Structure 1
Amino acid sequence: MSANPEKFNDLYSSPYLVDYYDLVAPNSDSIDDASFYWRVYQELRSPLLKPTREPFVIMDVGTGTGRVIQGLSNSAAVIGDDFFNTKVLGVDNAQHMLDKAAQNLDSLFKEHVSWILGSALDLASVMAQSGYDKVDLLIFSIGSISHLSEKGQPEKFLEQVSRVLRPGTGRAYVSIYDESLLRKSEEIAFHQPEGITEIKSQTFPNIMYREFNHRGDIQDKVKDVKFELQVVEQTELGDQVLETNNISMRMRQWEEDELVSMSSDAGLNFVEKARGKHETFYVFSTSA
């Protein structure tokens, strides 16, 4: 089955594409943010550990295949933490991603996690589905806010955060990845790989992903990357192409601290920023 050459897909539109995403996206071996969020969770939850209190709610926006939630569960297991009175909402706008995330979460804490199909631009609806009123810790990790590349979308997201975040004690951690910062000294702020890259699936037997024909540019603070991705079955008779996908990814690029200037108009208070290995975490609260 071949995709229409004129039609561009994202990496979330089929189980094969999600599997490929899981193979190439940053993971716990290359990103150190799960341990950072674990420390944040412990600090925010400690003064609120009361049996009569409503649950401490974590929302992982753009959870993808559940990398951050898996990291939190792993950290809890190491010290024997039972996620007392804690509920976790894994939110994504792609059902294939949520399905993969649920499969990946092989832990004792599954009963604490709800996977919700929803948009970062409509978190109020996500909360209505969840059955909870407010979020105590909201995470938008690894620069995922850059996926909100259309005009006005980051501002709308921040407005939604101000609606769902618990006033006073709630904290939102929004990451800007270093590679998403504008580099004014360069005409093109990224480089495309040449040739063909082949990656073997670890989920589907005899399946290999073939990536090639990269191209892209930056216009109006948006990086637009396109490439072709074939799903190839390796058989005794030779390679059989099952799918050919034309992939397009649009990622917003950021000025330094641009997110802070957006936050006040959205009803958020900028608290602080913290540095990670490859990103800056911007922390917000609300008094509304």
Structure 2
Amino acid sequence: MSTTLIEQPRDLYSSPYLVDYYDLVAPNSRSVNDASFYWGVYQKLLSIRPPSSDDPFVVMDVGTGTGRVIHDLASNAISSGADFHNVEIIGVDNAQHMLDKAQEITTGIFKDCGSWVHGSALSLSDVMEPRQHQKVDLLIFSIGSISHLSEAGQPECFLEEVSKVLRPRTGRAYVSIYDGSLLNPDEKIAFHQPPGVTEIQSTTYPSVVYRESNHRGDLDGNVKFVKFELEVVNIENQSVLEKNEISMKMRQWMKDEIVDLASKTELDFVDSIKGAHETFYVFSITADAESRQ
């Protein structure tokens, strides 16, 4: 079998193998432990604004990836016997391979009320524009995914888009800043990666292992650059199925910086809630924005 050699730097979402590897190494439901938090938020907001068939309760998971947060909500809903007849769930991501995997593993109640949409965190209004119900009751940007918005002006653009799609009065956006993405001006950021090759067995493809090597990282201002090589190897004959040069940029944050950025938009800061590995920042739209909607 021939090797697929990717000469250009790429992210972790550009092939089915890379999506599988991402799911293996990314924070999962057990390590993040935010499932019960978002389920509690969902129940609280639902009680404040009970939905109807004409005006359903809309949940949007931005940067959904393979749908971890949405699938966790589904698990909690099934366990509690929740009624999802008047609920719409939208998973948004700009990586189609991620959405394909999310769709593939979706089962149960969310097959009827959920949808996976190819779109950007920077154009949420475009995602909602063709939909019948265009206002979001609960918007989630989980486990520090906002750090992927590393270019100048992107976080502000995202926050502006949130203000356009959030429901007046009762709608809430929960944006997570991961502890590991906080800048400490008194300490030099260290990238802890063991030398040599790290090998991870695929659970989706039984004969495949992922070999990560030559991991390096650097910090330039408030952006962390991470690069490494990733081989997809068939362990039965040791053939290399895919060889990738991975390159990623992640924005780093000062404490409560996102509150300052939001203050320049039509969002009101409601609260910050400290979790085990992250801080959840809660926003609603301003009264001025409400009056124009």
* Normalised-by-shorter TM-score class: over 0.9
AA at the equivalent of 1:30: S
Shift in CA distance, 193/130, structure 1 to aligned 2, threshold 3 Å: farther
Aligned twin of 2:49 = 48
Aligned twin of 2:118 = 117
CA distance in 2 between partners of 1:94 and 1:131 (Å) = 24
Larger CA deviation: 117-126 vs 131-140: 131-140
AA at the equivalent of 1:150: E
Aligned twin of 1:270 = 269
RMSD value over aligned CA atoms?
Answer: 1.3
CA distance in 2 between partners of 1:276 and 1:187 (Å) = 24
CA distance in 2 between partners of 1:50 and 1:135 (Å) = 12
**1:50 to partner: Cα distance:** 4.8
Preserved CA contact (<8 Å) 2:84 2:109: no
User: Once the two structures are superposed, what CA deviation does each residue of 1:74-103 show, in whole Å capped at 9, x if it has no partner?
Assistant: 000111002231100000001100010112
Preserved CA contact (<8 Å) 1:189 1:218: no
Aligned twin of 1:250 = 249
Aligned twin of 1:85 = 86
Q: Any runs of at least 4 consecutive aligned residues in structure 1 with deviations exceeding 3 A, and if so which?
A: 50-53
Aligned twin of 1:211 = 212
Aligned twin of 1:156 = 157
Larger CA deviation: 99-108 vs 158-167: 99-108
The TM-score normalised by the length of structure 2 is 0.94
Preserved CA contact (<8 Å) 1:192 1:216: no
SS at match of 2:168: coil
Q: How does 1:163-242 map to 2 (within 5 A)?
A: 163-235=164-236, 238-242=237-241
Aligned twin of 1:105 = 106
Shift in CA distance, 163/50, structure 1 to aligned 2, threshold 3 Å: closer
Which consecutive unaligned segments of at least 5 residues does structure 1 have?
A: none
| Pair 1:59 & 2:30 matched | no
AA at the equivalent of 1:3: L
**1:224 to partner: Cα distance:** 0.3
**1:216 to partner: Cα distance:** 1.1
Q: How does 1:131-142 map to 2 (within 5 A)?
A: 131-142=132-143
Percent identical among aligned pairs is 62
**1:43 to partner: Cα distance:** 0.4
Preserved CA contact (<8 Å) 1:178 1:279: yes
CA distance in 2 between partners of 1:60 and 1:50 (Å) = 19
Which consecutive unaligned segments of at least 5 residues does structure 2 have?
A: none
Q: How many residues align?
A: 285
CA distance in 2 between partners of 1:29 and 1:180 (Å) = 20
SS at match of 2:129: helix
CA distance in 1 between partners of 2:154 and 2:135 (Å) = 22
Preserved CA contact (<8 Å) 2:49 2:170: no
